[in-house]
Amino acid sequence: MTQESAAEVLRQARRIVVKVGSSLVTNEGRGLDAAAIGEWCRQLALLERGADGQAPRELVMVSSGAIAEGMKRLGWSKRPHEVSELQAAAAVGQMGLAQMYETQLSEQGLRSAQVLLTHADLADRERYLNARSTLMTLLRHQVLPVINENDTVVTDEIKVGDNDTLGALVANLIEADLLVILTDQKGLYTADPRSHPEAEFVHQARAGDPALERMAGGAGSSIGKGGMLTKIVAARRAAGSGASTVIAWGREPDALLRLAAGENIGTLLVAPTHKTQARKQWIADHLQLRGSITVDEGAAAKLRREGKSLLPIGMTQVEGDFSRGDVIAIRDGAGRELARGLANYASAEARLLCRRPSRDIAKLLGYSGGPEMVHRDNLVLTQTPAAADQ
């Protein structure tokens, strides 16, 4: 990829997840770094308003530091091994973390919200959709979510474990364009620069390239959790939903503003597939379909030939039991699958909507989740043109 298109990846990112590590947030464990956090918040506010001369961005912060800050507040100099002690430290530190972000963001005129997630929230389909809709709603109301793992209620077996991974899962959840991982190094080197001063800097690579994992080592300090490896794996995971990742030094002046302006100040790991393409691939590969919708000839032709959304007016029958957000099949009158897509309405609602114009949706259901049963961005044709002509 050329320098120019790298700049495009950064500049065109509209929805951005910014992850900051414990060592940065807590000044290597010395306590919450108000100046550093204030600096990121100032930049986030400019980006959120589009005050940098570009379109406004939607921003989500994933911040580590609860355990490190809790330890500091409790006067513990050594990280405990006992899970309950770690959980207690996280509970103490999270108070300080939330308070700090709330203060700093409101000073910049930004509203913020604390969101604590667990692995189960992201693994269970229903909770996943709930978390997604909460975050999307916060973004719609221009509230900046500040996310951490809910360390006080999770044990090792059911943990996401590190916030690089959590950042990637959040990027997947909200279909972000870019994951920015701010850390205590300029980015990825060919080996850990703490032990290999001769290591060379990697400016850019393809997210998911296995060679990167061989370069990355564990955490360089006792404060950080994952080290570089979890960041590289996180970039691969984020690329699954089409998000590119950039790893950069959190104390670089104007780091977020410069990145958003297209300046690659760190290591850019570019997602090989675009996010719409990634979502369509995921839909096409889905093994478990919860139900299907049969459509009339007119709707089938619109989907097949014009790439349009499926509207309720063209639906003749609804089979199965599905929820909003499930992958369903779309069939023609002969029962042949012609497409797959994400249902915008649950099966019971879809039955009420069959053959009705979209303007009646609010009247029929008491609310409207949009005029389409399946939006074209969430729809992928699975029937070959030859099969369609048979």
Ligand X SMILES: N[C@@H](CCC(=O)OP(=O)(O)O)C(=O)O
Ligand Y SMILES: Nc1ncnc2c1ncn2[C@@H]1O[C@H](COP(=O)(O)OP(=O)(O)O)[C@@H](O)[C@H]1O
- Contact with ligand Y (CB under 6 A): which of 208, 227, 242, 312? 227
- Considering only 72, 119, 225, 340, the residue that binds ligand X (CB under 6 A) is 225
User: Is 151 marked as a binding-site residue?
Assistant: yes
Among 9, 18, 41, 67, binds ligand X (CB under 6 A): 67
Q: Which is nearer to ligand X, 149 or 349 (CB)?
A: 149
CA 282 – CA 278 distance, rounded (Å): 6
Region from 7-15, 151-159, 191-199, 257-265 binding ligand Y, contact rule CB under 6 A: 191-199
72 belongs to the binding site for ligand Y (CB under 6 A): no
Count Cβ neighbours within 10 Å for each residue of 171-180 and write b for 16 or more, e otherwise. Answer: bbbbbbbbbb
Rounded CA separation 29/72 (Å): 7
* Residue 228 within binding range of ligand Y, rule CB under 6 A: yes
> What binding mask, one character per residue, do residues 11-30 give for ligand Y by CB under 6 A, x or -?
----------xxxx------
SS3 51: coil
CA atoms of 369 and 387, how far apart (whole Å): 33
Report the first-to-last Cα separation within the chain, whole angstroms.
Answer: 43
Rounded to a whole number of angstroms, the minimum distance from the CB of residue 211 to ligand Y is 12
Binder among 224, 266, 314, 341 for ligand X (CB under 6 A): 224
Contacts of residue 33, Cβ cutoff 8 Å, sequence gap at least 6: 24, 25, 26, 27
d(Cα 348, Cα 362) in Å, to the nearest integer?
A: 15
- Binding-site member from 31, 38, 220, 369 for ligand Y (CB under 6 A): 220
Cα angle 261, 266, 272; round to 5: 80
**Cα dist. 195→27, 28, 192, 199, 225 in Å?**
21, 18, 6, 9, 18
CB nearer to ligand X: give 72 or 275: 72
> Whose structure tokens read 């609860």?
66
φ, ψ at 316 (rounded to 5°): -110, -25
Residue 148 in the binding site for ligand Y (CB under 6 A) = no
Total residue count of the chain as it appears in this document: 390
Please pick, from the candidates 129, 191, 257, 352, the single residue that binds ligand Y as defined by CB under 6 A: 191
341 binds, among ligand X, ligand Y, none (CB under 5 to 8 A by kind): none
What are the distances in angstroms from CA 197 to CA 1, 125, 190, 194, 200?
Answer: 27, 45, 10, 6, 9
Q: Is 184 in the site for ligand Y (CB under 6 A)?
A: yes
Residue in 185, 245, 294, 309 binding ligand Y, rule: CB under 6 A: 185
3-class DSSP state of 183 = strand
Nearer to ligand Y, 194 or 336 (CB): 194
Binding residues vs ligand Y (CB under 6 A): 21-24, 183-185, 188-189, 191-194, 215-217, 219-221, 224-228
Binding residues vs ligand X (CB under 6 A): 21-22, 64-68, 90, 148-149, 151, 162-163, 224-226
Residues belonging to the binding site for substrate are 64, 151, 163
